């Protein structure tokens, strides 16, 4: 029997998962110890992050959990025959990425005395890293196997941590909501992977690439859940209560104006004025992506609102004109339109943050933009950076604006190249991957019910034959 | 081409939305500045609201967001062919209403030195105002276009703010959960609008006014989500931790007893004892509506429980006997039964608050009802009112009871008349509105999927023809 | 007419519910008064629980509400024709159980000066009691009527309170997450009831015992919601911020490793490597069940992770091998597989807690396991117990390990016997129960829509005939 060399799900998925779990538990046993909040007193003047305690972090942690597992899980479940592929693989990719990021980020930022000091803060940061893998997976949804997605996450997480460290350490990027660090990175990484996994056979459409009213409605529900908790996501890393308050308000306004703009522009795009459901499911979130880089600045309520409008505009225009171009000309298939929701709005958001920095506006409240210049507690910020910054001394708006632009450029390059190479590494035919015919279909990976009353009358053998007409099994 | 005068969705919806968004951003730019919580110290002794900070408000804000967008969105999605009409229009109406209410309430209550001081508290209050528009929309669900609903909200929000100010300023109403200010107002406003938009053609039923098991189950889920977060809604404006604690407990008990009473009474109404799903989706919430006016009083656990039972009773009797009467005799169609869920229980709840005031019960804990008489921080409460009250000096139960009754009467009159006039203003045939045949149908407003596997095989042109057999396009 | 003696839904359900509601309101009126948190100062040194205030409890209360009503409600709704039976009966059983547990636990723990002092803490504890009834009901889901389930809850709640008191008072069990008190108890109680209600007619399968893709997906969604809030459940009763922090982390890790193990092992069980949806919906939660007894201990991140793996393993093996054995050999039908999700992982979790106690590990943080020995604020912990413990003086690991084992044994015996007797009491044919043919079907209890467009064209009488082909009506 040719079990070992056959790309069978049963041979590869359990082996890979059990192996990963075993290795992770082993490394946890050697390196992880609880991060006692009480023992942090001696370090109080260098690590601001320690002032975040359970009461502050735990509610936001649950918000992010809801976004990742319920919001994103539902949003991705829009395909008629690939609901479990979306929601359950989202669960497995997210969990593996979090476990893996706890270790990688731990070695980068929380390693002292031979131990990674592990607490809720680590899990939060690891969830932000996991978001990256989940967004990238959106580009190849339904066209890749769980095995490929797990390997992709394994490669993407360290690169994300490295790039995040780079743009924080060298460019002191202001990016409280991860507009560059998360959205730009994950988008172009995913598109890089997708370029390599390009399937010419899917160019003319696919009979299983369809939605139903119910799946589209649940997907919209998922989008709404992401929408509700996005202010938590963009504000969790704020360095003061005031900044957090502003981040919440600006994000809410950007999202709210994104939403109405989505209805307006999507209606305008259709000959009969009907809203496109794909626009609706995605573009209402564009404002949250865009405002991430400036959410804690004094960009004024009108500024946040306007940014939300622009973000939604760019998202819908992306779906209408850029996605078809990417597929036809550049051979990049983007199943969930991550370039429209994460790429374009994030670029506009970064430009917005540069503009806000250059304008250096002072609000009537007496706060000026310079308060935004002391680097915030970004994802995986090392305490060393704070010292570095204090040594650097003087700041000016032009330097910071250039830094923002440079960080955007670096992230673009790193992620695209990284995605390209990762795509090559997960492409080999020895790895499980669905045939063109079996794309967008749960059947290779899940024992799904036959949606008819005849199910129970079939004998088990006949059922199994019916369910799995797979070549690779 | 007769674009301008044709009631086409594409001509009216985007134009109206973009216009509204532009105007709002313009007004935001001129009038809105961040409300710095830190700058509130000088006003500390007149504005109790400022003691609410981010940590108190933010979790409750998210609860209310979940109620509005997920809970209500799902609850309204009970129609087989109008799921997007329910959930997506809920989203658009809510967002516009919040933006608009931020301005209107801002000019009423937060305008100082030429600026509206904007913070999370404003958004909270604006969401309460938005609830009003969403409830009223329930009366005409599926029979009105997004354009009509937006115009209705534009008119309803200022009237709500005015009425709320009136019953607080002149009648010092005790109404922590908005039983009168929100539920009575929105119910009779909606019924007023519905009276004008009466459609004789729908009298004999409608082939699209149908549900499925899945939509009914999701609607029940939405109701349960509202049920879970109702204690947050009724307690957010409490003026002390104790009062908030009581508001949570009383609301929970009222809801819990509503729920069991719903099962009992609904079963009793059916010849075979089967629960009616419409009763179930609505009546389990009746206790939350009713207890709003007395949630922070010492009404005792048994009192709250009993009120929940009465509310559920009235709600189911309303569905069974009063709704048919309203439709046949008074020509008021009430698609979601808002009179049964919001009107009747709110009236009983106000009577309950009057009774509680007159009974003036003192609990063993040493707290008496008079603590409830100092006006709470109600929706849009102006700090001036507090001074007013202190000047007024002595209070007595009979006066307050009369005030509660007067506020109920005033709200009833204002909302019914306001709804009537609003109905006239949004009725003109030049505005987009669905034909009788296209009521309860998503197709005029959304590019919905055809729920069959044949979809992909149709050419795009044929698909479009099939999807939109609309007269008004 | 033989209304009274016929086991008709309409005769029994409303009468029972109204009777119970009346009695409960009466008892509430006599015995319940608000528990003023402010009056607790005089008791400060004996009741640690009083330090939990609204800000601590309210968010966790809402998390538990979401778990009970949304998470569990959805998880149970996996049957195609029994969605309302699952979600709505979950609602009614939970509410009655909470109301009833407030009284029973109130008399046990909060009765002073002729009054039960009622606060949010009581409701929390009552919800934990209600969980027990809901889990037990899972064993007989679809095979029992609402009347039977209400009577079962009425009997189970006091027994739960008694057993919980027993294992805390006599065995000082360490069990912050209710692994023994809740999961072991409810599992074997449910199996005891199920043994008595055994239906030979269902042995060969049932044509209505089927799922659809949509119901399976919603059930998975429910499971994910439970998964997200499980750390709240396991940490709510922690006695210090540090212990709560640890409980959150350990529970998260156990769940996360459960999830990946579920995918691995379930895939391994299928000839073609496909994930079984029943495994997926249940086994991802197994880690949360298992880690409950040791969540606040210093079991190290690796320990929690490993426990999660073992729990998921045992859960899937249970579904594969033990459930069929229970049904065929012991005549115990277990519809939701509560033995696999609650029984087996809880037993392994208790063994894990014993091992952790015996290992007596000291972490680098300087905390040792003995801090775990001072009894935590467990469910329904009486303040007297704390005194008792202090008098007892010395503790040692072996004693505590024996106590854990004894508590497990006692709970097993009490629950199995209690369930057996309860089953006998709710079996009599005079109580409403579905015929074999009407099992797993909503129609006897709910006026469900006919899922077809023909519905509206049927006259009401014909509709009713079609809907209820019930013998017992």
Residue A366 in tokens: 């007496």
In the structure, what pLDDT confidence band is assigned to residue A53 with cuts at 50, 70 and 90? low
Using CB atoms, list chains with 3+ pairs below 8 Å to chain B: A, C
- The pLDDT value recorded for residue B451 is 61
**What is d(CA B358, CA A256) in angstroms, rounded to the nearest whole number?**
44
Residues 5-34 of B with CB under 8 A from A: 8-11, 13-14, 17-18, 20-21, 24-26, 28-29, 32-34
**Per-residue pLDDT for C469 more than 90?**
no
Q: How far is B216 from chain C (nearest CA, A)?
A: 8
Q: Which of B37, B449, B456 sits opposite A207 (nearest CB)?
A: B456
Q: Which two tokens stand for residue C44?
A: 């400060």
Q: Identify the closest residue of chain C to A443 by CA–CA distance.
A: C274
pLDDT grade for B237, boundaries at 50, 70 and 90? confident
pLDDT tens per residue, range B246-290: 999 999 999 999 999 999 999 999 999 999 999 999 999 999 999
B-C contacts at Cβ under 8 angstroms: 189
pLDDT at C292: 95
Residue of chain A whose Cα is closest to the Cα of C305: A25
Number of residue pairs across A and C with CB atoms under 8 Å? Answer: 188
Instruction: Give residue B53's pLDDT band: very low, low, confident or very high (50, 70, 90).
Output: low
- Among C274, C297, C440, the strongest candidate for a mutation testing the A interface, having the largest count of A CBs within 10 A, is C274
* pLDDT in the model for residue B392: 46
pLDDT band at C471 (very low <50, low <70, confident <90, very high): very low
Q: Which residue has the higher pLDDT, B450 or A211?
A: A211
Instruction: Say if CB C7 and CB C429 are below 8 A apart.
Output: yes
The C-alpha atoms of residue A104 and residue A107 are separated, in whole angstroms, by: 5
- Whether A51 has its CB under 8 Å from any CB of chain C: the answer is no
| Among the listed residues A261, A260, A257, A252, the one whose alpha carbon sits nearest the alpha carbon of residue A233 | A252
- Judging contacts by C-beta atoms under 8 Å, the chain B residues touching residue A74 are none
- Longest Cα–Cα distance of chain C, Å, equals 77
What is the model's pLDDT at position A57? Answer: 82
Is C52 or B156 the better-scoring residue by pLDDT? B156
Q: CA of B95, closest CA in chain C: separation in Å?
A: 25
- Backbone φ/ψ region at A300: left (φ over 0), alpha (ψ -120 to 50), beta: left
Residue of A nearest to B28 (CA): A302
Report the mean per-residue pLDDT for chain B. 84
Residues contacting residue C291 through CB under 8 Å, at least 6 positions apart: C177, C179, C234, C250, C251, C254, C299, C304, C307, C308, C311, C349, C352
B90-122, pLDDT tens digit by residue?
999 999 999 999 999 999 888 888 899 888 889
The two structure tokens encoding residue C442: 């909503």
Q: Decide: helix, strand or coil at residue A450.
A: coil
Contact A34 C59 (CB under 8 A): no
Return the residue in C232, C301, C313, C451 with the most chain A beta carbons within 10 A, the one to mutate for interface testing.
C301
pLDDT digits (tens, 9 = 90+) for A383-394: 333 334 443 444
Burial zone of A325 (CB within 10 Å; 0-12 exposed, 13-18 middle, 19+ buried): exposed
Q: Does B96 touch chain C (CB under 8 A)?
A: no
Chain C interface, best mutation among A24, A90, A91, by max C CB count within 10 A: A91
Q: Which of C213, C228, C273 sits opposite A66 (nearest CB)?
A: C228
Q: How far does Cα B92 stand from its chain's mean position?
A: 15
Say if B205 is an interface residue toward chain C (CB within 8 Å).
Answer: yes
DSSP, collapsed to helix, strand or coil, labels residue A172 as coil
C395 band by pLDDT with thresholds 50, 70 and 90: low
A122 in reach of chain C (CB within 8 A): no
Measured between CA atoms, how close is C248 to chain A, in angstroms?
8
- Dist CA B179 CA B348 (whole Å): 10
Q: Which residues of A touch C245 (CB under 8 A)?
A: 37, 54, 119-120
Give residue B298's pLDDT: 87
Contact A211 B8 (CB under 8 A): no
Residue pLDDT, tens place only, C435-448:
898 999 999 999 99
Predicted pLDDT of residue A51: 42
Long-range contacts, stretch A150-154, CB < 8 angstroms, 24+ apart: A150/A16, A150/A17, A150/A20, A150/A92, A150/A93, A150/A96, A151/A16, A151/A425, A151/A426, A151/A431, A152/A193, A152/A422, A152/A426, A153/A93, A153/A96, A153/A97, A153/A100, A154/A20, A154/A96, A154/A100
Subunit contact A8:C217, Cβ cutoff 8 A? no
Q: Does position A374 have pLDDT exceeding 70, yes or no?
A: no
**Contact with chain B for residue A53, Cβ under 8 A:** no
From chain B, the residues in CB contact with A244 under 8 A are: 54
Residue C426 has which token pair? 């709710």
Report the distance separating Cα B283 and Cα B290, nearest Å. Answer: 11
pLDDT averaged over chain C? 84
Residue with token string 């119970």: C20
pLDDT at C113: 85
Domains of chain C (ranges, CATH numbers): 30-38+54-361+396-431 (1.10.3430.10)
Least trusted range by pLDDT, from A65-69, A378-382, B143-147? A378-382
Tell me what percent of the residues of chain A surpass a pLDDT of 70. 82
pLDDT at B35: 74
Give pLDDT, residue C37. Answer: 53
Interface of B with C in 347-406 (CB under 8 A): 363-367
d(CA C398, nearest CA chain B) in Å: 43
pLDDT at A34 over 90: no
Q: What is the pLDDT of residue C49?
A: 41
- Give C142's DSSP letter: T
Could you tell me if A268 lies within 8 Å of chain B, comparing CB atoms?
yes
- pLDDT confidence of residue C450: 74
Residue B378 scores a pLDDT above 70? no
- Do the beta carbons of residue C93 and residue C133 sit within 8 Å? yes
ipTM of the complex: 0.89
Q: Which segment of A222-236, B237-251, C290-304 scores lowest on mean pLDDT?
A: B237-251
* Mean pLDDT, rounded, for C234-253: 89
Tens of pLDDT, residue by residue over A183-210, are: 999 999 999 999 999 999 888 889 899 9
Q: Which chains sit next to C, with 3 or more Cβ pairs under 8 A? A: A, B
Query: Mind listing the pLDDT tens digit for each residue in B5-39?
Result: 346 777 899 999 999 999 999 999 999 988 755 33
- Rounded to a whole number of angstroms, the distance from the CA of A155 to the nearest CA of chain C is 18
Instruction: Write the Ramachandran bin of A309: left for phi over 0, alpha for psi from -120 to 50, otherwise beta.
Output: alpha
pLDDT at C199: 93
Question: What tokens does C463 get?
Answer: 């509709």
CB of C320 within 8 Å of a chain B CB? The answer is no
């Amino acid at each position: 029997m040719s079990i070992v060399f056959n790309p069978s799900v049963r041979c590869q998925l359990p082996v890979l998962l059990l192996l990963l779990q075993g290795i992770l538990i082993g490394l946890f046993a050697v390196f992880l110890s609880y991060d006692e909040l009480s023992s942090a007193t001696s370090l109080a003047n260098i690590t601001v992050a320690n002032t975040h305690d359970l009461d502050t972090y735990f509610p936001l942690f649950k918000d992010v959990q809801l976004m990742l597992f319920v919001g994103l899980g539902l949003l991705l479940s829009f395909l008629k025959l690939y609901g479990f592929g979306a929601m359950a693989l989202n669960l497995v990719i997210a969990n593996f990425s979090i476990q893996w990021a706890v270790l990688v980020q731990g070695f980068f930022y929380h390693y002292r005395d031979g131990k990674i000091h592990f607490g809720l803060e680590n899990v939060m940061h690891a969830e932000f890293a996991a978001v990256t893998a989940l967004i990238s997976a959106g580009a190849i949804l339904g066209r890749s196997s769980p095995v490929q997605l797990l390997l992709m996450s394994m490669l993407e997480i360290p690169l994300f941590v490295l790039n995040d460290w780079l743009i924080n350490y060298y460019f002191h990027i202001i990016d409280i909501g991860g507009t560059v660090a998360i959205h730009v990175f994950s988008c172009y990484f995913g598109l890089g992977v997708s370029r390599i996994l390009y399937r010419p056979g899917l160019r003319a459409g696919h009979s299983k690439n369809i939605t139903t009213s119910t799946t589209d409605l649940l997907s919209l529900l998922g989008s709404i859940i992401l929408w509700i908790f996005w202010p938590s996501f963009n504000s969790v890393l704020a360095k003061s209560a005031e900044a957090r308050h502003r981040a919440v308000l600006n994000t809410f306004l950007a999202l709210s104006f994104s939403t109405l703009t989505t209805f307006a522009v999507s209606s305008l795009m259709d000959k009969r004025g009907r809203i496109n459901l794909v626009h609706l499911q995605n573009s209402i979130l564009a404002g949250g992506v865009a405002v991430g880089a400036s959410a804690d600045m004094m960009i004024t309520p009108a500024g946040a609102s306007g940014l939300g409008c622009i973000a939604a505009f760019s998202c819908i225009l992306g779906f209408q004109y850029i996605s078809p171009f990417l597929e036809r000309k550049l051979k990049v298939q983007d199943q969930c339109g991550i370039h429209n929701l994460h790429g374009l709005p994030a670029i506009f958001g970064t430009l917005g943050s540069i503009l806000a920095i250059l304008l250096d506006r002072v609000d009537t409240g007496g706060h000026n933009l310079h308060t935004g210049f002391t680097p915030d507690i970004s994802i995986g910020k090392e305490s060393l950076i704070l010292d570095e910054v204090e040594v650097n001394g003087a700041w000016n708006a032009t330097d910071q604006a250039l830094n923002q632009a440079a960080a955007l450029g670096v992230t673009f390059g790193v992620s695209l190249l990284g995605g390209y190479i990762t795509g090559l590494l997960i492409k080999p035919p020895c790895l499980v991957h669905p045939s063109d015919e079996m794309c967008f279909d749960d059947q290779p990976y899940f024992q799904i019910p036959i949606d008819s009353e005849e199910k129970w009358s079939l004998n088990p053998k006949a059922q199994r034959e019916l369910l799995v007409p797979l070549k690779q099994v």
